[in-house]
């Protein structure tokens, strides 16, 4: 049955007004609640485009809440298959214990690969994970008429008392966030001010955008310098950049596992030396020759799957792809495997984390909502994401070292 056939007489009258252009897709909410508006939009699209939208009409989350903060022109939901990998043993500063990893993906063999990696790591003693940096960034840009003005502004920014003023202005906009640093970058007569914030359990982009705006207003009042753009792309948000790879953004996290040579030979049907060789020639030489910013096998695969399952911003998979995967041979023949993730941008409050299905996945990991210690849940999630990436990297490199990649896909019918 089409959506139109399910409409009441009043709804059909509204649909006619939409089809005539009298009421827009956005303005239908002036006449109906969120669910009713979604139904009318589906009916409109079905009539205009001659398609059926029956499947996208099925969802379980709170429509009012989602349409208020997560989506505009709401028409329904797209379902993504959800699998689970694990358990994986994690020894982090914030994530400690065994975890099942929720992975939302349409790529066959991905969950199986990560699951194998979890088994490999756990049987080898688990993954050690540490967070090295925790700072979300926003970088407004300013322009000047001369180099002298540019240098004067730069010098003013570098004064300790200037930072104190900026911190006071920024911190006044939020109960949770705090300005940690302000680093200027100069190009000609342009100054990009890269501001770094602690955002606690939120990923924090909304929070720090408001705080950054307060800083630009302070600068305008103090120096008479207008802000050209609140984001000048030195942040850098949702783009692959060297500055994020080098300085980090969000959480900078490293995960490590040690695999014995005998375990690799008996269980993975390859050798520590062959895994080292694959990683070196594929992830280092191949990535370098290709001009890549990330040096890994498929880190973005795992980041995307966890992010979709747990309500993270999927565009931040870009920064997740900056991962560096290392495999070093120890003196005793063991293989020390690690992933360095310079920009894990996650939160456990705000954004998509409150949507019912995504919140269930966060609860599965024990990190839903704000932590008892502010920021602890988001830090734990960043460690879990990094451990999951390590599992995916170890599994894929081992499969390629053993020559099993194509066979695995064929067996799973992919």
409 is catalytic: yes
Pairing of strands 82-92, 127-138: parallel
CA dist 38 and 45 (Å) reads 11
Beta bridge partners of 130: 254
Q: What DSSP string describes 259-328?
A: E-HHHIIIIISS-HHHHHHHIIIIIIIIHHHHT-S-BSSSHHHHHHHHHHHHT--GGGHHHHTT-EEEEE
| Alpha carbons 145 and 153: distance in angstroms, whole number | 12
Other CB atoms within a 10 A radius of the CB of residue 152 amount to: 13
User: Catalytic annotation on 31?
Assistant: no
Catalytic residue list contains 316: no
3-class SS at 175? coil
Say which of 46, 54, 107, 213 is annotated catalytic: 107
Give residue 368's Cα distance to chain centre: 16
Choosing from 171, 198, 213, 313, which is the catalytic residue? 313
Q: Are 142 and 193 in contact (CB under 8 A)?
A: yes
Residue positions annotated with a catalytic role: 107, 313, 409
């Amino acid at each position: 049955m089409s959506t139109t056939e399910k409409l009441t007489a009043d709804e059909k009258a509204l649909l006619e007004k939409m089809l005539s252009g009298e009421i827009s897709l956005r303005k239908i909410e002036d006449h109906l609640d969120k669910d009713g508006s979604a139904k009318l939009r589906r009916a409109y699209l079905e009539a205009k485009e001659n398609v059926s939208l029956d499947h996208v009409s099925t969802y379980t989350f709170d429509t009012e809440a989602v349409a208020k903060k997560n989506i505009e022109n709401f028409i329904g939901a797209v379902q993504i298959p959800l699998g689970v990998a694990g358990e994986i043993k994690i020894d982090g500063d914030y994530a400690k214990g065994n975890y099942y990893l929720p992975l939302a993906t349409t790529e066959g063999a991905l969950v199986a690969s990560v699951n194998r990696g979890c088994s490999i790591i756990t049987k080898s003693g688990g993954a050690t994970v540490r967070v090295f940096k925790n700072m979300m960034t926003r970088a407004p840009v300013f322009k000047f008429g001369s180099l002298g003005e540019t240098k004067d502004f730069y010098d003013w920014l570098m004064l300790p008392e200037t930072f104190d003023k900026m911190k006071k202005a920024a911190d006044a906009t939020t109960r949770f966030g705090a300005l940690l640093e302000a680093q200027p970058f100069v190009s000609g007569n342009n100054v990009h001010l890269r501001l770094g914030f602690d955002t606690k359990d939120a990923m924090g982009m909304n929070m720090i955008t408001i705080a950054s705006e307060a800083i630009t207003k302070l600068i305008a009042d103090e120096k008479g310098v207008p802000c050209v753009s609140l984001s000048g792309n030195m942040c850098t948000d949702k783009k692959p950049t060297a500055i994020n790879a080098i300085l980090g953004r969000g959480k900078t996290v490293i995960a490590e596992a040690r695999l014995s040579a005998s375990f690799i030979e008996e269980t993975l049907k390859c050798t520590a030396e062959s895994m080292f060789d694959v990683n070196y020639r594929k992830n280092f030489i191949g990535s370098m020759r290709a001009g890549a910013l990330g040096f890994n096998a498929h880190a973005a695969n795992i980041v995307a799957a966890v992010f979709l399952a747990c309500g993270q911003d999927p565009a931040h998979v870009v920064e997740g792809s900056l991962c560096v995967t290392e495999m070093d041979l120890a003196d005793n023949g063991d293989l020390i495997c690690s992933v360095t993730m310079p920009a894990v941008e996650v939160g456990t409050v705000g954004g998509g984390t409150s949507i019912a299905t995504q919140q269930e996945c966060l609860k599965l990991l024990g990190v839903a909502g704000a932590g008892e210690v502010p920021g602890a849940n988001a830090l734990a999630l960043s460690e879990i994401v990094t451990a999951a990436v390590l599992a995916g990297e170890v599994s894929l490199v081992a499969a390629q070292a053993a020559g099993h990649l194509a066979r695995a896909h064929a067996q799973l019918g992919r």
